[in-house]
C-alpha cells in the first residue's frame, strides 16, 4: 500500500519512482494535480491553472475521499504557485487522511520547495544522489554553494541530513559509506574556491580513495607513504597555516571567513578556500609521527580565522584540548558507488592549492645545468613555503670555503664538476676531490669528503657552500639526524647546510 511520501528529484526520475509505487498498489485510485499529460495510471488529472477543478478535487479529499484514494501533487513548486492555500490544505489531508486509508504523494524538484509543516506528515525520498544534493541531472549547478554545508544522506524517514563545517573540528563515527557520502556532497556543491581537502588515511581504511582524484584535493597520504613523506607533510601543513595567516593579516580582515564574505560580495580579492583535513585512523597515523598532533590542534584552533578544519573519521586521538562536534549519521542513496566513480572527476571544480610539492628527484628525471638560469647549480626544496628556490653558491670574505660530504656513490665528484662549471673562472678557487691534498688558504677551498670529520675545521667554520649527500651515519649530520636519515639513495640529492633543507644538484 502507498504511504504518505514526497519524492524529490528530476522529472524523469520521479516518474520512474511513482510508476514503481503505483504498480505495487494497483488497487489505489490516484487523483493528480499537475501540468500536462502524464503516462502514470491516474483516475483523473487537473492542471494547476484550473483552479475550480483543483479546488473541487481538494474538497473531495477534505470531505472524505474513499479508502484507497491517493492525492498526487505533481511538482509542488508549480502547483503551489497557482494556489497559495495549497500547503495548508494538503497538510490537513496528509495529517488525517491515513486514518481512513487516504494518502498524499508529492513530487518536487528541490527539497527547499517543500513546506516545513507538510514534511512532518510525509516520508521523503531522493531519487538519487544528485537529487539529495539539489543538483540538476545535467550537472549544470554543481559547485554553486558558498555556505560550507551539504546533505550527507537521509534519516530514518528519508529526509536529508545536513552536515556543516562551522567549527574548528568535527568527528564522524559512521560507516565508510556515510563518510564518503558526506564528503562527496561537500565536494560536488563547493568549488575549490570555497573548500579544499587534505586526506590522511592513517590505518589503510581506503575511505578516501574514491574521493582523492577530485581536483579540490590538495594532497592524500596513506600508510604506504615513507616516513620522510609524513615529515614533509607536517612541515607543509605548518607552512599552509602560516600562509593563510599572512593572507588574512595583509588583507585587513580579521578572519578568512570575513575575507570570503567580502569576496562573495564582489571585492577584488583572490579566492582561498577553507582546508578540511580529514583524518582516518588518527591513532595509527600519530604513532608514526607524534608531532602531527600539535599540527592538527593548531589547524583546529585556526577555524574561521584561517579556514583550517579537521574531521576525524571513526575516532578521536587522545590529547585534544576540546571535544569535536559530532557529525550525524545518515543513510546514503542507492547510487552512491556509481557517483563516487563519476563525480569527483567531473571537470570545472577548480584546482586546490598545492600544499605539498613532490620531493626533489621523485620523478627520476635528470636535472641539468641548461635547465637552470646562469649562476645556479641546483634546486633548494622549501616545503614550508610550498616552493623551490635556486641553489646559488655565495662565497665571500667571511664565508670563504665549501665542502661536499657523502657516502660513496652519492654524487660528490659530479657535484664538484657542476660547481666548477657554474663558477667558470677558477683562479680564485681550489676545488679538491678529497680532503687530503695540499690546501691554499688564500683561495676559496671546496673539498669532498666521506664524513664531516674528514673536513678541516677551518673549512667547516667558514662554510659558504655546504652540501651533505646521503651519509653512512645520519647521526653525524651537520643539519640534523632525522633529515639526514630521510635523504634518498639518489645521486645528487642531499641537504644544504645553509638552508637546512633538501637540495638537488644539476648534472654538469
Q: Output the pLDDT for position 150.
A: 96
What is the average pLDDT across 170-186? Answer: 95
Q: What is the value of pTM for the model shown?
A: 0.91
CA separation, residue 51 to residues 29, 47, 57 (Å): 21, 8, 10
What is the average pLDDT across 285-292? Answer: 95
- Backbone angles phi and psi of 388, in degrees to 5: -125, 135
Q: Output the pLDDT for position 435.
A: 75
Q: Output the pLDDT for position 363.
A: 86
Q: For all residues of the chain together, what is the average pLDDT?
A: 94
Binned at pLDDT 50, 70 and 90, residue 322 comes out as confident
Query: How far is residue 320's CA from residue 295's CA, in Å, rounded to a whole number?
Result: 11
Q: Is the pLDDT of residue 459 over 90?
A: yes
HSE, CB side, 13 Å, CA atoms: give it for residue 87: 13
Q: Output the pLDDT for position 441.
A: 85
Sign of the C-alpha dihedral computed for residues 120, 125, 131 and 132 taken in this order: positive
What is the average pLDDT across 105-127? Answer: 95
- Write down all domains in the chain, each with its CATH number in brackets: 5-127 (3.40.50.300), 161-345 (3.40.50.300), 369-505 (3.40.50.300)
Q: Which residues pair with 405 in a beta bridge?
A: 449, 468
Identify the CA nearest to 276 among candidates 229, 329, 313. Answer: 313
What is the average pLDDT across 162-188? Answer: 93
Question: 3-state class of 397 per DSSP?
Answer: coil
What is the average pLDDT across 216-225? Answer: 97
Q: Which residue has the cell 582524484?
A: 213
- Angle between helical axes of 51-64 and 86-96 (0-180°, round to 10): 30
What is the average pLDDT across 486-507? Answer: 96
What is the average pLDDT across 256-265? Answer: 91
Within a 10 A sphere around the Cβ of 39, how many other Cβ atoms?
Answer: 8
Identify the CA nearest to 187 among candidates 344, 363, 15. Answer: 344
Query: How far is residue 210's CA from residue 176's CA, in Å, rounded to a whole number?
Result: 11
- Angle between helical axes of 292-306 and 227-251 (0-180°, round to 10): 20
Task: Write the DSSP assignment of 236-254 as a string of letters.
Answer: HHHHHHHHHHHHHHHHT-S
What is the average pLDDT across 255-280? Answer: 93
Q: Is the pLDDT of residue 444 over 90?
A: yes
Query: How far is residue 135's CA from residue 337's CA, in Å, rounded to a whole number?
Result: 17
List the single range of 75-79, 368-372, 385-389, 437-441 with lowest mean pLDDT: 437-441
Identify the CA nearest to 459 among candidates 403, 382, 506, 505. Answer: 403
Proportion of the chain above pLDDT 90, given as a percent = 88
- Angle between helical axes of 227-251 and 256-264 (0-180°, round to 10): 60
- Our CA dihedral for 155, 159, 165, 170, rounded to 10 degrees, sits at -10
Q: Output the pLDDT for position 143.
A: 97
Residue pLDDT, tens place only, 411-424: 999 999 999 999 99
Q: Output the pLDDT for position 166.
A: 84
Residue pLDDT, tens place only, 36-65: 877 788 999 999 999 999 999 999 999 989
What is the average pLDDT across 126-140? Answer: 94
- Which residues, at least 6 apart from 448, have a Cβ–Cβ distance to it below 8 Å? 403, 404, 405, 412, 413, 415, 416, 432, 433, 434, 435
What is the average pLDDT across 157-163? Answer: 96
Amino acid at each position: 500500500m502507498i504511504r504518505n511520501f514526497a519524492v524529490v528529484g528530476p522529472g524523469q526520475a520521479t516518474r520512474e519512482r511513482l510508476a514503481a509505487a503505483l504498480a505495487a498498489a494497483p488497487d489505489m485510485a490516484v487523483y493528480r494535480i499537475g501540468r500536462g499529460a502524464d503516462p502514470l495510471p491516474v483516475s483523473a488529472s487537473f492542471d494547476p491553472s484550473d483552479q475550480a477543478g483543483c479546488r473541487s478535487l481538494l474538497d473531495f479529499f477534505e470531505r472524505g475521499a474513499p479508502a484507497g484514494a491517493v492525492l498526487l501533487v505533481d511538482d509542488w513548486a508549480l502547483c503551489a504557485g497557482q494556489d497559495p492555500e495549497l500547503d495548508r490544505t494538503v497538510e490537513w489531508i496528509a495529517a488525517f487522511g491515513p486514518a481512513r486509508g487516504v494518502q498524499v504523494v508529492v513530487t518536487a524538484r528541490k527539497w527547499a520547495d517543500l513546506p516545513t509543516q507538510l514534511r512532518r506528515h510525509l516520508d521523503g525520498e531522493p531519487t538519487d544522489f544528485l537529487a539529495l544534493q539539489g543538483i540538476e541531472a545535467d550537472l549544470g549547478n554543481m559547485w554553486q554553494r558558498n555556505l560550507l554545508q551539504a546533505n550527507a544522506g537521509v534519516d530514518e524517514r528519508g529526509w536529508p541530513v545536513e552536515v556543516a563545517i562551522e567549527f574548528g573540528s568535527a568527528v564522524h563515527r559512521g560507516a565508510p559509506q556515510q563518510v564518503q557520502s558526506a564528503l562527496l556532497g561537500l565536494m560536488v556543491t563547493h568549488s575549490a574556491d570555497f573548500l579544499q581537502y587534505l586526506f590522511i588515511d592513517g590505518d589503510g581504511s581506503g575511505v578516501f580513495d574514491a574521493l582523492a582524484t577530485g581536483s579540490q584535493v590538495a594532497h592524500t597520504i596513506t600508510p604506504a607513504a615513507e616516513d620522510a613523506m609524513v615529515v614533509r607533510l607536517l612541515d607543509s601543513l605548518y607552512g599552509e597555516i602560516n600562509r593563510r595567516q599572512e593572507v588574512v593579516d595583509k588583507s585587513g580582515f580579521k578572519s578568512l571567513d570575513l575575507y570570503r564574505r567580502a569576496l562573495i560580495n564582489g571585492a577584488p580579492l583572490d579566492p582561498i578556500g577553507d582546508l578540511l583535513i580529514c583524518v582516518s585512523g588518527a591513532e595509527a597515523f600519530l604513532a608514526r609521527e607524534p608531532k602531527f598532533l600539535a599540527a592538527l590542534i593548531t589547524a583546529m584552533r585556526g577555524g574561521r580565522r584561517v579556514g583550517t578544519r579537521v574531521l576525524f573519521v571513526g575516532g578521536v586521538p587522545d590529547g585534544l584540548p576540546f571535544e569535536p562536534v559530532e557529525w550525524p549519521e545518515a543513510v546514503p542513496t542507492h547510487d552512491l558507488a556509481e557517483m563516487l566513480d563519476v563525480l569527483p572527476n567531473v571537470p570545472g571544480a577548480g584546482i586546490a592549492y598545492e600544499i605539498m610539492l613532490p620531493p626533489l628527484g621523485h620523478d627520476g628525471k635528470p636535472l641539468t645545468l641548461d635547465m637552470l638560469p646562469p649562476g645556479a647549480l641546483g634546486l633548494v626544496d622549501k616545503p614550508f613555503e610550498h616552493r623551490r628556490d635556486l641553489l646559488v653558491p655565495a662565497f665571500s670574505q667571511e664565508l670563504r670555503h665549501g665542502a661536499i660530504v657523502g657516502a660513496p656513490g652519492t654524487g660528490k665528484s659530479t657535484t664538484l664538476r657542476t660547481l666548477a662549471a657554474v663558477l667558470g673562472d677558477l683562479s680564485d678557487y681550489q676545488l679538491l676531490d678529497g680532503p687530503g691534498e695540499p690546501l691554499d688558504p688564500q683561495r676559496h677551498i671546496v673539498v669532498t669528503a666521506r664524513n664531516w670529520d674528514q673536513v678541516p675545521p677551518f673549512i667547516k667554520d667558514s662554510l659558504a657552500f655546504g652540501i651533505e649527500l646521503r651519509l653512512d651515519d645520519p647521526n653525524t649530520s651537520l643539519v640534523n639526524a632525522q633529515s639526514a636519515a630521510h635523504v634518498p639513495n639518489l645521486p645528487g640529492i642531499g641537504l644544504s647546510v645553509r638552508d637546512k633543507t633538501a637540495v638537488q644538484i644539476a648534472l654538469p
